[in-house]
Chain A
């Protein structure tokens, strides 16, 4: 499953990372190197094995459905690139 420049372009877009044209080929080469090494996983017999998503063998805890926090507008906005009147300000997105 070799990756070409077009695939890198598509995946970089999926990852929302702007990648200049001249970087596509070198990135494809790097990713192919890494993926070729990863291919050895195909040697492992995984027939009937459950995928392991967590190390913690416990059901997720539930808590009472009640307000536990809030009313911290200033704290929430304190790191916003831009804010006004208690809101995040983002660039106009309707084109």
Chain B
């Protein structure tokens, strides 16, 4: 029998429906992989084996009675930022260690409605603030990929590092993730997986631990573009419990696959050429352009003139929103509370100093600063105006192009510890991804090649708001052209 854990989500769903194997069998296979590999990779912070087997048996019963849902019996990993009823949810923070939500996030509730099986909760940067998974209170996740001829542990990226590592190492069929500045697409690029952030408002934020609410959006990390289309559809829904949820139909994006890109106009933004970008990234981007041209697309050089201001604007807006959102962690009603304090203010301050890690403290401090009297207009309001300029840049090019092609990241995966000294170096990871968050647009990362060290590199496709269909269409052509079949050599 083939190794069930190497199947794609689509392949597994087909096998389950055809009763080639049971959900219990494939669930046990994944639990065995997790048991064997997780102490090394640190992708899961909690494995819910009993729950998984119970869900798998219930799925098998539904399959037997002909009542299978869209994801029936498929074992998935859940980023530890989605609240799961009765299962600890920490967002990678000591502040929430031991926090057991008495309710379910809408995204995960949708997955269980469709019959998915939960294997456990996936590691992440603390409160999703990080690009290497090194800010997690549970320690960093290790990338299953290694540089040729080196034994150094590499980062899987972040903040959805656990999700990306688990998918790449066959510790789940697919995983939920979230993206505020690039936290789905950057880890997908670093691990040879596919990750899509849908249009802001497609997936409900209810029950998702908040970082920066005007930017946060859930999406999947999967092995293929088709798997991403399947999983994203289940995750998205209109939800009255999220005030920014869009009251629109969720399309069946698998219908967009196989259409090709003939006649589509693909924009290549000249401002995405950045100083110090490795030649390999430029070469991969050029290759992507050639693939799309060969498939019949028209390539259009475009200008998005405010691109270079996206990251600095993001590093005002995201910390500002975080400083407001994370004010809830005061040690009173839930979460960590300091043992000893001299006064009420001291209790708050000690609780938060003990509960939050260094990067979270840094960002909350920046947020409080840019929102403080005297600086609010100069920093925060200005950043919101620049954000509109960035969104307008995109509005202006949609008349000329149907989708935009860029690299996903300015480098391949780097070694753990490499960029911890200088926060700015870490922030630059999101240089190509953050614009889509600020403008609320869908963006996908597709594995498109490997660098000289054998490490995966990704290409990003950005689309019009609500036009994930075209994004999937273009992504599939890149996937087919790249024929990316490299897998990390198993060492864990």
Contact = CB atoms under 8 A, between A and B. Distances in A.
Chains A and B come from one and the same complex: yes
Interface string A22-43: 0000010011011101101111
Given A54-B214, A88-B332, A91-B341, A12 B365 contact: yes
A12 B313 CA distance: 22
Contacts of A31: 362, 365-366, 369
Contacts, number: 159
A46 B373 CA distance: 21
B315 interface: yes
Instruction: State which size class the interface on A falls in.
Output: 35 or more
B331 interface: yes
Nearest to B390: A52
A43 B382 CA distance: 11
A90 B331 CA distance: 9
A3 B353 CA distance: 21
B385 interface: yes
A46 B385 contact: yes
A81 B386 contact: no
User: Which has the most chain B C-beta neighbours within 10 Å: A17, A31, A35?
Assistant: A17
B464 to A, nearest CB: 13
B214 A55 contact: yes
Interface in B17-35: none
Interface stretch (B123-131, B157-165, B252-260, B343-351): B343-351
B316 interface: yes
User: Which has the most chain B C-beta neighbours within 10 Å: A44, A46, A72, A75?
Assistant: A44
B137 interface: no
Contacts of A91: 341, 344, 347
A51 B201 CA distance: 19
Contact of A34 (B247, B309, B337, B424): B424
Interface in B382-396: 382-389, 391
A17 B424 contact: no
